[in-house]
Amino acid sequence: MNQTSPRLLFIGCMFLFVFMYAPLLVVIVFSLTPTEYGVSWEGFTLKWYQAVLDNKNIQAALKVSLMVAIPCVLISTAIGTITAFTLYRSRFFGRALYQGIIYIPLIMPDLVIGISLLLFYTSIKLELGVLTILLAHISFTIPLTTLVIIARMQRIDRTLEDAAMDLGADEWTTMRKVTLPLLKPGILAAALLAFPWSFNDFVITFFVSGVGSSTLPIRVYSMIRLGVSPVINALGTLIVVIPLILVVIGLLLERRRV
Amino acid sequence: MTQVASVELAHVVKRYGDVIAVNDLSLIIGEGEFFSLLGPSGCGKTTTLRLIGGLEKPDSGEIYISGEVVNDRPPYERSSNIVFQNYALFPHLTVNDNIAFGLRLKSRRTPEPEVKELVAQALELVHLEDFGARRPAQLSGGQQQRVALARALILRPKVLLLDEPLGALDRKLRKAMQIELRRIQQEVNITFVYVTHDQEEAMSMSDQVAVMRNGNFEQIGSPQEIFQSPRTRFTADFMGACNVFCGRVTAVVAPVAGCALGGTVQIETETGFTLISRNNRELSSGAATSISIRPEAVQVFPENWEWQADNIFDGRIVEKVYLGEVTELKVSLAEKDSIVSRVGSRIDQNFGFKEADPVSIGWNAEDCNLLSD
């Protein structure tokens, strides 16, 4: 048993890598070769990347995606922080129920969320567009940000706040000088998780986006319907590689600071 | 009394739901006193401390600091500071910034050069001059403890509240810190209220000790009083006087003029032994009482040994536990009674006591203590 389990673990890891990253590798490889149809390597080119940069539709969609994702992250992180504070700190009637309810969207099918939001927005006569996408994204990222921040909050020693108050800090100063600085990693993590959730979402966005307000995933989907173009391979590669580079840079900076 | 008490509690009650944590406590702590709250966990000693510090609000009763009622004052408006059990140092700040935390707050507005000077003085007081730039995580437990102390003392509180501050330290360090704490307390001359469950700690540092049990005070007094004359069975047991006998006074001997020892009483225990005890409760003949004897006062010799003591009995060793400096011998007197003795391990080795050995066991009347319950 002791002999075989590391090997089993190794095989398991290999499966994960093959099924997760091999398809990704295929996309990257075919974004770098001029083959337009079919799957064979015919030399190196960057022309599909040029096509991505030149594509006005993609540019417009990227703009919409960022117009949604950035405010969404800011707002849902802020609301998540406040919600976490309230849930963790105050005792009020129905608190446990409220805490349960807030996590339900995490396990609810996107399809159901999408349809219900669509029905809701149409019934209150809200015109579908960037605003409805933003509202939808804020609503489904709040449970995530709340959860991440509460998890961090539970690890903060409450006596630190007692100590701050004992040393003369009132409630507000204690929050500003002790609680928030200690919560910062949690708030950052929440924001970092919420961003891809918003940026990558397809299903819910599909229901609540209007004409002329396509986010990047929606745009990619409508492009695929006209046939898989290597432009999409290039776009896909960029979407995967650029955040990866940013994360690596972030980690390196973090390490240098310590 | 013209002097204002540093801390005063008047009929303070604190409940958590149905549980009464602190039950009608009244207490006066004098200026500059080192006062210990001693008791087992769950006896309400930490709650009492948090009530004084303002981290808990009493359900009824009054708390005074320097003669002022502070019931409705939040912790940040009280002239008391706490050294927490887990130190509660801010992990995101350096030692310097931790210590300067209170000084830099708006409510104090200390100018920065003065902050620097005071922090340097505080670090010097706790012998951590070279550690100012470090983070708490880079310090040992003992060093963190001293930072917590400096952080609280720098604000010159009227009362310093310490919640088992030495609990997490190893024995040797704890001993050194006990002496250190006492030195600091005398140097700064601030009232210390010290919570501990360690009787030795309370004995070695305090001017006054309050033994607590179930949210009540069992006994308040000097360390000597508590140690030598515990009033209740609980205090006696908690202070390590584990030999307790119940009985009735059968004769009273009045004090002899010029003799250091006061009057004595003769007591017949429920199990039929007759003991001579000092009469520290001024009991009269016929009174029911119980009596405690500290194990180190009980001497053990081989059987038929020629020696003198007020109470001598024959017995048999039933248990022997080596504790290092001392050896604990449990000696059975009759079928029901047994008495625990602590003899120096060297004495034990010289006599070569073994389990089941018959012995002669005894103690003096002045080592007996009459209890009130």
Residue A161 has which token pair?
């706040």
Convert the pLDDT of each residue in B327-346 to its tens digit.
Answer: 999 999 876 788 999 999 99
**Looking at beta carbons, which residues of chain B come within 8 Å of A166?**
53-55, 75-76, 80-82, 152
- How far A253 CA lies from chain B's nearest CA (Å)? 19
Secondary structure of B25-41 as H, E, C letters? EEEEECCCCEEEEECCC
Closest residue in B to A177 (Cα–Cα)? B101
Find the angle CA(B19)-CA(B21)-CA(B23) to the nearest 5 degrees: 105
Average pLDDT, chain A: 87
pLDDT along chain A (258 residues), means of 10: 72 87 86 77 86 89 93 96 86 82 88 94 92 94 92 89 94 93 90 90 92 88 83 88 81 65
pLDDT in the model for residue B253: 85
- How far B214 CA lies from chain A's nearest CA (Å)? 24
Q: Are B102 and A159 within 8 A, CB to CB?
A: no
Strand partners, B258: none
Convert the pLDDT of each residue in B135-178 to its tens digit.
Answer: 999 999 889 999 999 999 999 999 999 999 988 888 888 898 89
- How far A158 CA lies from chain B's nearest CA (Å)? 9
d(CA B21, CA B33): 25
User: Nearest Cβ partner of A162 from B55, B91, B102?
Assistant: B55
Model confidence band, residue B1 (pLDDT cutoffs 50, 70, 90): very low
Q: Are B102 and A168 within 8 A, CB to CB?
A: yes
Whether B137 contacts chain A with CB within 8 A: no
Q: Are strands B299-302 and B288-293 parallel, antiparallel or unpaired?
A: unpaired
- The secondary structure element, H or E, covering residue A60 is helix A56-89
Side chain identity, residue B298: V
d(CA A150, CA B89): 22
Is residue A230 within 8 A of residue A31, CB to CB? The reply is yes
- How far A180 CA lies from chain B's nearest CA (Å)? 11
Tell me the backbone φ, ψ of residue B268, rounded to 5 degrees. -105, 120
Q: Are A163 and B88 within 8 A, CB to CB?
A: yes
Residue B260 has pLDDT above 70, yes or no: no
Strand partners, B20: B15
**Looking at beta carbons, which residues of chain A come within 8 Å of B84?**
159, 162-163
Is residue B211 within 8 A of residue B235, CB to CB? The reply is yes
d(CA B161, CA B65): 12
Residue from B90, B104, B156, B159 to probe the interface with A (highest A Cβ count within 10 Å): B90
CB atoms within 10 A of CB B350: 10
Residue A218 has which token pair?
């929606």
Place of tokens 């003029």: B257
Whether B99 contacts chain A with CB within 8 A: no
Q: Are A167 and B102 within 8 A, CB to CB?
A: yes
Residue B41 has pLDDT above 60, yes or no: yes
Q: Are A169 and B155 within 8 A, CB to CB?
A: no
User: Nearest Cβ partner of B76 from A157, A165, A178?
Assistant: A165
Q: Is the pTM of this model over 0.90?
A: no
Strand runs (DSSP E) across chain B, as ranges? 7-16, 19-29, 34-38, 60-65, 68-69, 80-83, 159-163, 191-196, 208-213, 216-221, 243-253, 264-269, 274-278, 288-293, 299-302, 311-322, 326-332, 338-344, 358-363, 368-371
- Give residue ranges of A with CB < 8 Å to any B CB: 157, 159-160, 162-170, 173, 177-178, 181-182
Whether B75 contacts chain A with CB within 8 A: yes
- How far A63 CA lies from chain B's nearest CA (Å)? 38
Q: Are B55 and A165 within 8 A, CB to CB?
A: yes
Model confidence band, residue B3 (pLDDT cutoffs 50, 70, 90): low
Q: Are B76 and A166 within 8 A, CB to CB?
A: yes
Q: What is the mean pLDDT of residues B224-244?
A: 91
CA-based nearest residue to A191, from A235, A160, A146: A146
- How far A150 CA lies from chain B's nearest CA (Å)? 19
**Looking at beta carbons, which residues of chain B come within 8 Å of A183?**
none
- What is the DSSP code string of A10-39? HHHHHHHHHHHHHHHHHHHHHTSS---SSS
pLDDT in the model for residue A25: 87
Is residue B149 within 8 A of residue B161, CB to CB? The reply is no
pLDDT in the model for residue A4: 62
Q: What is the mean pLDDT of residues B230-258?
A: 87
Q: Are A167 and B155 within 8 A, CB to CB?
A: yes
What's the N-to-C CA distance of chain B in angstroms? 32
Torsion on CA atoms B27, B29, B34, B35, rounded to nearest 10: 0
pLDDT in the model for residue A256: 62
Strand partners, B332: B316, B338
